[in-house]
């Protein structure tokens, strides 16, 4: 039996997803825009988002091959880029069969490829470490790596890199990374891929044959210090409801550890969402939630299944009223700032017990 008494949900606006994709990909008309849907589509639901993008995006990207296999099982036919590449030798056989593009970034992976007896005919992505120093081969090693590929693979090659700071408009690092990648890529007849969301939006010079669009697809801003130069619509709106209300006297304390104390007669609303749903426990007093169009500050520690907020200054609210934790009317960026984190983390950590409800 499927029954939902608790009304928590993450409403996923699929029309907005499509509009965001179209708006951002229009910034790079010469590039193919790959939709990055790793980590459960940044918390929005892996297969539902993939199904909606399958006919729109030329390819999808996930972190590791398990996620891609889930997509094939759900009937998704687009090519799928595996951003961490093969994590075991067998991944090559699966990739060959399933039309997965593997991003190769270390010599162990290369050895798995070169010792294969069967041909590998899928596109090969080789990751160049142009300065992020997380994954990839040093630029000066690329020529000798490419020499080890067979001719078919050499003709089916994408040289790619990843930016460490593309959301920082005055950081010269991005241009240095672009120059580094281009200086290797010009030596070979290959395709290129550099840009993430911030690259697509801020660095036109970074647009390659493929760009890799993640966070902005979901209507979220890759930067924390400025607004985007375009209107995107948040795709996820996270909702819960008020399940209790009480009036407190001056000096009464709220929640675990008694970390919040009423400094005036106060009305406290208890809302049915907590850290087990992905609302972070580190949220501090004052973190806003939205109730009936009015902002209310968090009061007291986040529990596993509940939070408490101060609704003293709000027009009357009642049990059952809907609460927006973040989304279309309260930006996930605003909430993230109060939590000393970023929108990426809040979106991806919405847990499995919150039903995703899809609106077209």
Active-site positions?
38, 256
Tokens of 281: 């426990």
Task: Using CB positions, name the residue nearest to ligand PLP.
Answer: 214
Tokens of 221: 């801003």
Shortest spacing between CB 39 and ligand PLP, in angstroms: 8
215 lies in the binding site for ligand PLP (CB under 6 A): yes
Tokens of 142: 């690329």
Shortest spacing between CB 137 and ligand PLP, in angstroms: 14
178 lies in the binding site for ligand PLP (CB under 6 A): no
Q: 296, 283 in Cβ contact below 8 A?
A: no
> Which region, judged by CB under 6 A, interacts with ligand PLP, from 106-114, 211-219, 327-335, 349-357?
211-219
123 lies in the binding site for ligand PLP (CB under 6 A): no
Q: 209, 101 in Cβ contact below 8 A?
A: no
> Which region, judged by CB under 6 A, interacts with ligand PLP, from 169-177, 179-187, 213-221, 303-311?
213-221
Binding-site member from 219, 222, 278, 327 for ligand PLP (CB under 6 A):
222
d(C-alpha 258, C-alpha 253), whole Å: 5
d(C-alpha 122, C-alpha 100), whole Å: 7
Binding-site member from 105, 207, 212, 301 for ligand PLP (CB under 6 A):
212
Compute how many residues bind ligand PLP; rule: CB under 6 A.
11
Would you say 36 or 354 has its CB closer to ligand PLP?
36
Q: 338, 286 in Cβ contact below 8 A?
A: yes
Cα 212 from chain centroid?
11
d(C-alpha 328, C-alpha 359), whole Å: 13
Q: Which helix (H) or strand (E) holds 193?
A: strand 191-193
Binding mask 57-96 for ligand PLP (x = CB under 6 A): --------------------------x-------------
Shortest spacing between CB 306 and ligand PLP, in angstroms: 31
Shortest spacing between CB 215 and ligand PLP, in angstroms: 4
Cα 219 from chain centroid?
10
Shortest spacing between CB 222 and ligand PLP, in angstroms: 5
d(C-alpha 299, C-alpha 259), whole Å: 8
Interface of this chain with ligand PLP, residues 190 to 209, rule: CB under 6 A: 196-197
Tokens of 33: 């825009």
Binding-site member from 162, 207, 301, 356 for ligand PLP (CB under 6 A):
162
d(C-alpha 268, C-alpha 311), whole Å: 6
Binding-site member from 12, 16, 36, 236 for ligand PLP (CB under 6 A):
36
Binding-site member from 45, 131, 214, 278 for ligand PLP (CB under 6 A):
214
Shortest spacing between CB 147 and ligand PLP, in angstroms: 25
State the DSSP string of 78-146.
Answer: S-EEETT--SSTTHHHHHHHHTEEEEE-SHHHHHHHHT-SS---S-EEEEB-SS--SSSB-GGGHHHHH
Contacts with ligand PLP by CB under 6 A lie at 36, 38, 83, 162, 196-197, 212-215, 222
């Amino acid at each position: 039996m499927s029954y939902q008494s608790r009304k928590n949900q993450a409403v996923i606006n699929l029309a907005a997803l499509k509009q965001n994709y179209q708006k951002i990909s229009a910034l790079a008309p010469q590039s193919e825009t790959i939709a990055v849907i790793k980590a459960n589509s940044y918390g929005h639901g892996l297969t539902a988002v993939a199904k909606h993008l399958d006919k729109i995006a030329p390819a999808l990207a996930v972190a590791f091959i398990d996620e891609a296999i889930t997509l094939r099982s759900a009937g998704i036919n687009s090519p799928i880029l595996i951003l961490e590449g093969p994590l075991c030798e067998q991944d090559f056989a699966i990739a060959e069969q399933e039309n997965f593009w593997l991003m190769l970034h270390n010599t162990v992976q290369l050895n798995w490829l070169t010792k294969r007896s069967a041909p590998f005919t899928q596109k090969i992505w080789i990751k160049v470490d142009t300065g992020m120093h997380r994954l990839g081969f040093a630029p000066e090693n690329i020529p000798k790596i490419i020499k080890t590929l067979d001719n078919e693979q050499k003709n089916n090659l994408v040289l790619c890199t990843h930016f460490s700071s593309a959301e920082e408009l005055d950081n010269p690092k991005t241009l240095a990374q672009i120059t580094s990648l281009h200086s290797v890529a010009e030596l070979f007849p290959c395709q290129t891929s550099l840009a993430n969301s911030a690259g697509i939006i801020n660095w036109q010079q970074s647009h390659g044959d493929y760009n890799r669009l993640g966070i902005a697809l979901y209507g979220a801003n890759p930067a924390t210090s400025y607004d985007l130069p375009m209107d995107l619509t948040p795709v996820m709106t996270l909702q819960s409801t008020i399940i209790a209300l009480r009036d407190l006297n001056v000096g009464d304390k709220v929640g675990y550890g008694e970390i919040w104390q009423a400094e005036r007669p106060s009305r406290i609303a208890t809302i049915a969402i907590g850290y087990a749903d992905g609302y972070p426990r580190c949220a501090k007093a004052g973190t806003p939630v939205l109730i009936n169009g009015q902002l209310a500050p968090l009061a007291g520690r986040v529990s596993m299944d509940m939070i408490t907020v101060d609704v003293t200054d709000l027009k009357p609210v009642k049990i059952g009223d809907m609460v927006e934790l973040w989304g279309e009317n309260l930006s996930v960026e605003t909430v993230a700032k109060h939590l000393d984190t970023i929108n990426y983390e809040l979106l991806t950590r919405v847990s499995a017990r919150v039903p995703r409800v899809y609106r077209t």
